[in-house]
């Protein structure tokens, strides 16, 4: 598992990056969010060692489906890491891990607060022995609050963050949003301290709560709530009420994502759909949402998604097909081709 796997573009940056090979990372995390954060550091070029207890390894190893006998999720977030099994609950194992921490630059752990301290690997202990160590804890809830020991997973964090409550009929998202947001926040915090350490010569504790991170993903509804003094209720421009910002069905049952929010995009879309007579409604699309939505939906139902891709490919209209995962994988491969041109959707 030395070659990086797809799915982590790092903002378009392709590692490794110069200097990161000098950063040594100890990864004590399991399952998804922590390993994903450590994986991004590995992709940047850091030397990452994943430590597992022999009798309590990462459960993702055995989670189906598997690739070559190893859980697919484990492979996706642990490529390029050195894998080390050591029982740090025994004196000899603890001494070995402390020796590694004394030479490390970054440590990431995702246990419930207090466990690393009980194992003799808490932040105060390890940072006392290595002042340059950046010690990152990724937790479900704030590690100094009343829920610090409460068990939880992504769906729980989305529930308490207000994320799920924005919908009248909440549903389970198709991916782990709070987990991934927590991973990205952890990496951002770690890299910020790497820069700070170049000036101060000292590391710092980084603590990331996935529940809080999920809450921070809601600047639009939170801003509206603060401005109006009440939680947003009912349809809004950002959740499907805007006729130029929603999904529309095509003749073949596919969906098109229309995101022509700004007026120039909206006018270009109306012209491309032969709805020039509705241009004046684009001055206040929410006031005329029913009329615009009805007419745009009627026209888009008249052709397949592939036909619309072809018709709109040279138009500045912010319209894309909702792709299946297989189609998206092939699309992303083509999207990175230097100087390449995407001409419609192809089979994955």
- Is residue 236 pLDDT above 90, yes or no? no
Residue 221 counted as domain residue: no
Q: Are residues 123 and 260 in the same domain?
A: no
SS3 of residue 245 by DSSP: strand
Rounded CA-CA distance 28/284 in Å is 53
CATH number of residue 176's parent domain:
3.40.50.10540
Q: Are residues 283 and 180 in the same domain?
A: no
Residue 235: name the closest of 251, 219, 224, 248 by CA.
224
Q: Tell me how crowded residue 322 is: count the other CB atoms within 10 A of its CB.
A: 14
The pLDDT of residue 99 is above 60 = yes
Domain co-membership, 61 together with 106: yes
Q: How far apart are CA 51 and CA 88, in angstroms?
A: 9
State which of 216, 250, 282 marks the end of a domain: 216
41 and 189 in a single domain? The answer is yes
Shared-domain flag, residues 243 and 210: no
Q: Residue 49 pairs with which residues in a beta bridge? A: 26, 82
Asked which of 6-15, 123-132, 136-145, 319-328 is least confident by mean pLDDT, the reply is: 6-15
Do 152 and 17 have their domain in common? Answer: yes
174 and 43, same domain (yes or no): yes
Q: What percent of the chain has pLDDT over 70?
A: 93
Final residue before a domain boundary, out of 184, 216, 248: 216
What values do phi and psi take at 125, rounded to 5?
-65, -50
Q: Give the pLDDT band of residue 237 (cuts 50, 70, 90).
A: confident
Cα 319 to Cα 226, 244, 246, 278, distances in angstroms: 32, 10, 10, 18
Domain membership of residue 43 (yes or no) is yes
Are 135 and 104 spatial neighbours (Cβ–Cβ below 8 Å)?
no
Q: Which of 5-9, 106-110, 281-285 shows the lowest mean pLDDT across its residues?
A: 5-9
Task: Answer yes or no: do 210 and 252 share one domain.
Answer: no
**Helix crossing, 177-200 with 154-161: angle to 10°?**
90
CATH number at residue 305: 3.30.1540.10
**Per the domain annotation, does 40 fall within a domain?**
yes
Confirm whether 109 is domain-assigned: yes
**pLDDT tens-digit map of 31-68:** 999 999 999 999 999 999 999 999 999 999 999 999 99
Count the residues in the chain. Answer: 348
Residues in Cβ contact with 107 at an 8 Å cutoff, skipping those fewer than 6 apart:
25, 26, 28, 101, 126, 133, 134, 135, 136
Count of domains observed in the chain? 2
183 contacts: CB under 8 Å, gap ≥ 6: 32, 33, 34, 36, 37, 40, 138
pLDDT at 346: 45
What value does the mean pLDDT take over residues 326-345?
A: 71
The enclosing H or E element of 208 equals strand 205-209
**Based on the domain organization, do 170 and 38 belong to the same domain?**
yes
Tell whether 230 is covered by a domain.
no
In a domain, 158, yes or no: yes
pLDDT at 80: 86
Domain that holds residue 143: 10-216
Distance CA 175, CA 197 (A): 34
Task: Examine the domain organization and report whether 95 and 159 are in the same domain.
Answer: yes
Three-class SS of residue 109?
Answer: strand
Q: Is 168 among the domain residues?
A: yes
Are residues 75 and 168 located together in one domain of the fold?
yes
State the average pLDDT over residues 263-280: 97
Closest CA to 164 of 215, 235, 208: 215
- pLDDT mean across residues, the chain: 92
- DSSP one-letter code for 303: S
Whether residue 79 has pLDDT greater than 70: yes
CA distance 30 to 294: 48
CA-CA distance, 222 to 2, in Å (whole number)? 42
Same-domain pairing of 187 and 148:
yes
Flag whether 347 is in a domain: no
Task: Decide the pairing of beta strands 255-259 and 47-52.
Answer: unpaired
Let me know how many helices (H) and strands (E) the chain has, helices first: 13, 11
Helix axes 33-44, 177-200, angle to 10 degrees: 50
């Amino acid at each position: 598992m030395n070659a990086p796997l797809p799915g982590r573009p790092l903002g378009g940056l392709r590692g490794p990056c110069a200097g990161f090979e000098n950063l040594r990372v100890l990864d004590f995390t399991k399952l998804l969010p922590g390993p994903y954060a450590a994986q991004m550091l590995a992709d940047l070029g850091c030397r990452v060692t994943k430590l597992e207890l022999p009798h309590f390894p990462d459960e993702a190893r055995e989670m189906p489906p598997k690739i070559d006998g190893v859980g697919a999720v484990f492979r996706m977030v642990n490529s390029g890491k050195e894998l080390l099994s050591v029982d740090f609950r025994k004196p000899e194992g603890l001494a070995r891990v402390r020796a590694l921490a004394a030479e490390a630059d970054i440590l990431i752990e995702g246990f419930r607060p207090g466990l690393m301290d009980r194992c003799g690997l808490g932040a105060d202990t390890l940072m006392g022995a290595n002042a340059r160590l950046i010690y990152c804890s990724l937790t479900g809830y704030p590690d100094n609050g009343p829920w610090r020991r409460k068990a939880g997973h992504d769906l729980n964090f989305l529930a308490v963050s207000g994320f799920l409550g924005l919908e009248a009929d909440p549903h389970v998202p198709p991916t782990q949003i709070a987990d991934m947001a927590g991973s990205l926040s952890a990496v951002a915090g770690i890299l910020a301290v790497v820069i700070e350490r170049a000036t101060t010569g000292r590391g710092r504790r980084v603590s990331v709560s996935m529940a809080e991170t999920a809450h921070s993903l809601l600047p639009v509804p939170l801003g509206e709530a603060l401005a109006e003094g009440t939680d947003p209720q009912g349809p809004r421009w950002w959740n499907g009420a805007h006729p130029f910002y929603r999904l529309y069905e095509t003749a073949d049952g596919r969906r098109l994502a229309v995101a022509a929010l700004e007026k120039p995009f909206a006018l270009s879309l109306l012209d491309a759909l032969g709805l020039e007579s509705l241009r004046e409604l684009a001055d206040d699309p929410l006031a005329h949402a029913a009329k615009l939505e009805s007419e745009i939906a009627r026209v888009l139902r008249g052709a397949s998604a592939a036909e619309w891709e072809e018709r709109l490919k040279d138009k500045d209209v912010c319209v894309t097909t909702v792709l299946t995962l297989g189609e998206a994988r092939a699309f992303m491969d083509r999207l990175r081709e230097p100087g390449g041109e995407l001409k419609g959707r192809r089979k994955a």
